[in-house]
Amino acid sequence: MTVLDEIRRLEPEFRAEEDLSAEQRTLTGRAFTHMQETGLMRGLQPKRWGGAELSLREHLTAVYELGRIAPSAGWVAGVMGSHPWQLALFPEETQAEIWEADPDWNASSSYAPTGKIEPVDGGYRVSGRWSFSSGCDHAQGVILGGFAGKVEAAPGVQVPNYGSALLHRDQYAIEDTWHVRGSRGTGSKDIVVADAFVPARRFLSSPLYEYNPDRPAPGMETNPSALYKVPWAVMFNLVLVAPMLGLARRVLDDWTADTRVRKANWGGTYADDPLMQMHLAEAEWVHDAAVMKMYDAIDTITEAAEAGVFLEKRLRARLRWNITKGCQETGFAINNLMRVASGRTVFVDHPLHRVYQDVVAELGHAFLVSDGVGQYYGAALLDSSAPEVML
């Protein structure tokens, strides 16, 4: 059976854990175990380390489906399920350190540079607080983003050295700050680091590999698959888009089921209301268009990686604009459906209440806000200047 087949087989179990995960404000142990059982959490892990090394299309289709079935589990799978891909880019010694003894080893993350990463002899000192670390209760480590001084990206060109520091579980504390209304089951708590040493082999510099085709990431030598050559920013955007659009599919399905049987005060049913019919048709169109943009981005970066083509910034901006704009428009369409839904959706036990809160929460992620990348893409088309964005 494929990973997608396994997710669908376990749909009753995933749905059964949704309420308890929301109540606990973190995924239940059973929900996370089911995610591992499907093979999804090792989907992008190299085969040589016990992973499936799936195509990006197959992996993200499975993430989309889990987002439909159990939104919080889908979100965590999108985020944490991408980390084996990034860990495969670290030096071989680091890969062996984490996966040789435990192929299920995985990390949560928080990439916003809110803490400190300071270069020292032999590595880096890490300290501070990072927020929104989805799935951290089930992780054996964490990937933290930050600026570590400057680095020479090209001869004579010094740029801020943004990168990812990998810490083991005994190097940080988890602070339970996740008191929210949407995405409650993701357990996206704060990571607090007092003072931790990270050896150089556990820090991955983005300028040195992400924007420099002549200087591949260290792990590409032992993991030469095209999968590990796709651009990081587009890739990380896609792993958020997939669960969000799966969640949107869930909202559309639940709204449709509710509206089919909803009685109108004048004696008819809302299923026969032409306005309801048109609102639903429009929302379905927007969702389908967004999914098509998602697959176009997946296929574009995959085909480029397989051909050994380095995508220029304007194209990467177009891809990120298309998929984030697709999510934004899907959110607007769902807002429109909720505007004409039953007033009873304000009650917390209504089927649409929590999934709508989940939509609001997921669309608040910085990598799903389309404005900045849209401005950059528009400026590029006009040969104008725009603030730099991560592409």
At CB < 8 A and 24+ separation, what contacts does 225-228 make?
A: 225/46, 225/53, 226/302, 226/305, 226/306, 227/44, 227/53, 227/55, 227/56, 227/85, 227/302, 227/305, 228/46, 228/85, 228/88, 228/89
Measure the CA–CA gap between 310 and 323, rounded to whole angstroms: 20
Measure the CA–CA gap between 4 and 60, rounded to whole angstroms: 10
Is-above-0.75 flag for pTM? yes
CA atoms within 13 A on the CB side of 233: 24
Q: Which residues contact 334 (CB under 8 A, 6 or more apart)?
A: 248, 251, 252, 283, 356, 359
Query: Quick one: residue 332, left, alpha or beta (phi over 0 = left, psi -120 to 50 = alpha)?
Result: alpha
Which domains does the chain possess? 3-87 (1.10.540.10), 106-223 (2.40.110.10), 230-381 (1.20.140.10)
Tell me if 187 sits within 8 A of 137, measured CB to CB. yes
Measure the CA–CA gap between 222 and 160, rounded to whole angstroms: 28
Q: What is the pLDDT of residue 323?
A: 98
Tell me if 52 sits within 8 A of 43, measured CB to CB. yes
Q: What is the pLDDT of residue 336?
A: 96
User: Nearest to residue 74, comparing CAs of 307, 322, 362?
Assistant: 362
**What is the full per-residue pLDDT of the chain (391 aa) written as tens digits?**
999 999 999 999 999 999 999 999 999 999 999 999 999 999 999 999 999 999 999 999 999 999 999 999 999 999 999 999 999 999 999 999 999 999 999 999 999 999 999 999 999 999 999 999 999 999 999 999 999 999 887 788 888 999 999 999 999 999 999 999 999 999 999 999 999 999 999 999 988 776 667 778 999 999 999 999 999 999 999 999 999 999 999 999 999 999 999 988 888 889 999 999 999 999 999 999 999 999 999 999 999 999 999 998 899 999 999 999 999 999 999 999 999 998 888 998 898 999 999 999 999 999 999 998 999 999 889 988 876 677 7
